[in-house]
A and B are shown apart, each in its own frame.
Chain A
Amino acid sequence: MRQLANWFRRKKLDSGLDRELRYHLERRIVDLQRSGLSRAEARRQAAMELGSIAQIQEEVRDIWLTRWMRDFTYDLRFSMRSFLRTPAFTITAVLSLMLGIGATTAIYSLVDQILLHALPVRQPDRLVLIDWKGDQVANGFGSWNLMSYPICRDLDQQKQFFEGVFCRALTTVNLSTGGDYHAATAEVISGNYFSVLGVGPALGQVLTNDNDRRPNANPVAILSYDFWKAQLGGAADVVGRKVLVNRHPLTIIGVAAAAFHGIDVGEVPSLWIPASMSTEVIPGFSNLQDRRTRWMQVLGRLNQTITLREAQAGLQPWFKAMLKEDVRRAGFPVITAERRQRFLNSSLVLTPAPQGHSTLRRRLVEPLWVLFAVTAVLLGLACLNVSGLFLARGSARDREIGTRLALGASRGRLGRQLLADSLLIAFAGGALGIAAAPIAVQALIASLPGDNAATALHAGVDSRLLLFAFLASVTAGVLSGLAPAWQSGRRSLISSLRERGGTAFGGLRLRKVIVTAQIALTLTLVVSAALFVRTLDALLAKGPGFPTASLVSFGIDCQRSGYSEEEGNRLVRRIDKAIGYSPVVQASAVARFPLLTGGSWNNPMTIRADKRFSTDRDVNLNAVTPGFFSTMGIKIMAGRNFDKRDIGPPGERDARSAIVNEAFVNRYLRGRNPLGVRICQGSGPDATPNTEIVGVVSNFSYRGIREESEQAYFPFKGQGAATFYVRVHGRAESSFQSLRAIVRGVNPVLTMTNLRTLDEQVDRSLNTEHILATLSGGFGMLALLLSLVGLYGVMSFVVTQRTREIGIRLALGARRWSTIWLVLRDALAMIFSGVAIGLPFAWTLGRLVQSQLYDVKASDPVAIAIAIMILCSTAGAAALIPAHRASGVNPTEALRFE
């Protein structure tokens, strides 16, 4: 380490030593003069005593830097000079590695931020996610790993396992800091959230358990640091001010620490609100104390002395007792004995959660690792390419190296020189790569799913990323230097001196091996790209099941704007009517929940046909107005549409009638007339099927385009929130202005959310597939380019080497095509063996990404055939150019060389 520091101040050390020695010399001269010598004599005597100054300097420098490092410094300097002499080689090599390192670093940036980065809290490695495995016998909303608030409170009491257990749920609120209302992300949390995480305030105080004791009694909020800075200009007097959340005033009691952005990397909350205020924050919600409402994620901090496994095992007795107690509790739903057993067999599962909990992570964990693997392969390809270039250069430098060997350079020393070469190239490539990575990351973030992901992730280069790029560069440098160094070690001194420049066969076999490996790797990437492109194609071809052209949708949530459910329903009806009168509108309809967002209203159902039975999985549900199916262009296959008959009087609990889709009929009512069958939500014995199926519609996508689910539709009665679907005249985008004007005309306070064309909505729902197809396609092209360059290089080399042979053959009467074949045969051997080696890899990779594919198998013959065709034709073309040149060899000229 000291030596490394010395390396950076070697100039200063040198001049210091110089002064020191000069001082010694002059003092000695003066002393010798005093003892009677002449000045010239004294000078001679002193110099003799001291010996060679240059030798002392060398010796001392060795002490400073160690021998190895000094040599390496010289090597680097030498490499630098020789690179500057061959700019074409240098640029190609550096660019290859820049692509490899830049792409890997860019993807790693996302992998690090989304998948690996631990929360900026106290000891994140002690955090665990607590989840219920089994049947909770509960209703709920939200996504993944949900439990109820009272269970979290019970878990918090288990102090022998946990320092504390907190719970949280994300929600969107209408927030006003004085002016207009805006949609903002809020995290509803238990009071101990901040203390268990170990996050403090930047200003004021954080929430404590005291803020979360009595329901509706704690109208307070904590702002996030970024929200405070951006929206309130970092006002110092913000503590004590009030904000309006869904029209309820909350007092700001503090601002959270600057680095803390909540526990979900994809959703950054603007504010934190105690769970005791959940009724105000989530309209229509009053089940905070209900043990059978699951809506919050529960996380805990393990005690210092306990392991996760011990805690999980230790919790079960307590948990089983709690389950038994739950069953006896008043208000526990009436369920079948079998389901009760499932409930009682439930267990708690603890998983490490140093990165918190994130829906975005769940969605991207596989695609990101796939892309990371792809970029790693790309980096490997770039290394191979540089290896090949070095080998080519190595054979050009044969005589130089031979001479150095003859002058007594050790083989190790020469190998080190080659390593210095490749490291230098790698670091140049790495530096350029890391300069380019942020631009790529920025583009990637912009294309990620999730509305809030863009704000949560950053494209900057931090120390972790720098470290990664550094390691990648070192690895790339060593890898690409390995083959040339090995090759130079095998070279025999005599032969390399005896041979004349240009005829050396240096490393040709190794270069062929490298090109074959490149082709194998490229095939893997091209096949996976073909698989992803075909997946996207298949999904786009399938479409949502209705024509999306000139279709627009937007959402309105009246309750979040502070209206009661009744007022909200009136507003929705008025907007619906106003839109119907607009000249730009062809048709319009209202649905309770939006399509193609990944979410849905779902429940198991009970069906009474010949006999009574429950569905074996959740049915996706929605409530729609009569115009819905015709507006969307969805065919009614049997029965009738909704009409006035289906709307019961307000307050009637069950819907009178329902329309189901064909998938529902196929799964549950196959072979009988579905019309007239009665169904209802829920699967318990208390479920009473008295909603009549009046129609069947064709299948179309609800959650996303991939899924084909059973669906059931009820008449829209309104619950204060609605999604409008409008088919307009002309281009969809041009109607945005008039739609906004219509809603503002009805009520200026209402905020429209997600005003989009359906085409855009489809794109958004396919966004992971888009990313995978585009990026793997792009990386596949780069890989192809790299290996074509490699192949072309080797073939040109072969042709140059065999010019004489080809000349003789031509002179002896060989035909041109036979010389082409002579050269091409070599290339084809490489291409085909590369393909043969690559196929099993491609197949394995395809199997690994199977879950990301749609309507395509990993062994899809079309994708593989396309990949092989692209590879062979381009590679063949790259080999054909030098082969053609070989056929143009003039026999007399080729022979005159001799």
Chain B
Amino acid sequence: MLILQIASLEPIHGYGMAQRLQQVSQSVVQVNHGSLYPALHRLEQKKWLKSEWKQSETGREAKFYSLTASGRKQLAAEKVDWERLAGAVQLIFNEGGRS
């Protein structure tokens, strides 16, 4: 979900994705660089991500991933799921706090 979320903002290459993950989560989420690529390719295989080769900011060719329409749908669905789960967890904590 995190990958889809990051890719939904703008087309991004693998390295950028790794940097961004570290940045936005303030290093809370430590993604092993090695496992990032299988994940990207799996999402691409599922057609939630599409990719193209483009010039990167350093002038080299890099593979940029961006979200597809079905990926967008999937992201939305996962967000809803997540919010439900997070909400439920919150409720349980609140309950626990009261007693």
A56 at the interface (CB under 8 A from B): yes
Residues of B within 8 Å of A60, CB to CB, are 37-38, 41
- Considering the complex, give the chain A residue whose CB is closest to the CB of B60: A23
Residues of B within 8 Å of A20, CB to CB, are 13-14, 37, 62-63
Known: A23-B62, A50-B33. A63 touches B38 (CB 8 A): yes
A27 B58 Cβ-Cβ under 8 A? yes
Interface size of B by CB at 8 A reads 19
B61 at the interface (CB under 8 A from A): yes
Known: A16-B63, A27-B58, A51-B32. A21 touches B45 (CB 8 A): no
Interface 1/0s, chain A 40-55, versus B by CB < 8 A? 0000000001111001
Interface 1/0s, chain B 47-63, versus A by CB < 8 A? 00000000010101111
B13 A63 Cβ-Cβ under 8 A? no
Interface residues of A in 8-65 (CB under 8 A from B): 16-17, 19-21, 23-24, 26-28, 30, 49-52, 55-56, 59-60, 63-64
Residues of B within 8 Å of A28, CB to CB, are 15, 33
A50 B34 Cβ-Cβ under 8 A? yes
Residues of B within 8 Å of A52, CB to CB, are 34
A2 at the interface (CB under 8 A from B): yes
A63 B41 Cβ-Cβ under 8 A? yes
Most buried by A among B14, B37, B61: B37
Interface 1/0s, chain B 9-44, versus A by CB < 8 A? 000011100100000000000001111011001100
A548 to B24, CA, bound (A): 101
- In whole Å, how far is B6's beta carbon from the nearest beta carbon of chain A? 15
B42 A63 Cβ-Cβ under 8 A? yes
Most buried by A among B13, B32, B33, B58: B33
- Tell me what chain B mostly uses at the interface: helix, strand, loop, or mixed: helix
Residues of B within 8 Å of A49, CB to CB, are 32-34
Residues of A within 8 Å of B62, CB to CB, are 20, 23
Residues of B within 8 Å of A23, CB to CB, are 13-15, 56, 60-63
- Considering the complex, give the chain A residue whose CB is closest to the CB of B58: A27
A64 B14 Cβ-Cβ under 8 A? no
B41 A64 Cβ-Cβ under 8 A? yes
A64 to B41, CA, bound (A): 8
A28 to B13, CA, bound (A): 13
- Tell me what chain A mostly uses at the interface: helix, strand, loop, or mixed: helix
Interface residues of A in 66-92 (CB under 8 A from B): none
B33 A64 Cβ-Cβ under 8 A? no
A204 to B35, CA, bound (A): 67
A19 B37 Cβ-Cβ under 8 A? no
Residues of A within 8 Å of B56, CB to CB, are 23
Known: A2-B45, A64-B45. A21 touches B61 (CB 8 A): no
A19 to B56, CA, bound (A): 13
Residues of A within 8 Å of B60, CB to CB, are 23, 26
A19 B33 Cβ-Cβ under 8 A? no
A51 B45 Cβ-Cβ under 8 A? no
Contact for B33 among A17, A51, A55, CB less than 8 A: A51
- In whole Å, how far is A46's beta carbon from the nearest beta carbon of chain B? 9
Most buried by B among A21, A27, A55: A27
- Considering the complex, give the chain B residue whose CB is closest to the CB of A58: B38
Known: A19-B61, A51-B34. A63 touches B18 (CB 8 A): no
29 example contacts (A-B, Cβ-Cβ < 8 A) are as follows A2-B45, A19-B63, A20-B14, A20-B37, A20-B63, A23-B15, A23-B61, A23-B62, A24-B15, A24-B18, A24-B37, A26-B60, A27-B15, A28-B15, A30-B58, A50-B34, A51-B33, A51-B34, A51-B35, A55-B34, A56-B34, A56-B37, A60-B37, A60-B38, A60-B41, A63-B42, A63-B45, A64-B41, A64-B45
User: Sorted from nearest, which 3 A-B pairs have the closest CB atoms?
Assistant: A51-B34, A59-B38, A24-B15
**Given A20-B62, A60-B37, A60-B38, 15 additional A-B pairs, CB 8 A:** A16-B63, A20-B14, A23-B14, A23-B15, A23-B60, A24-B18, A26-B60, A27-B15, A51-B32, A51-B33, A51-B34, A55-B34, A56-B34, A59-B38, A63-B41
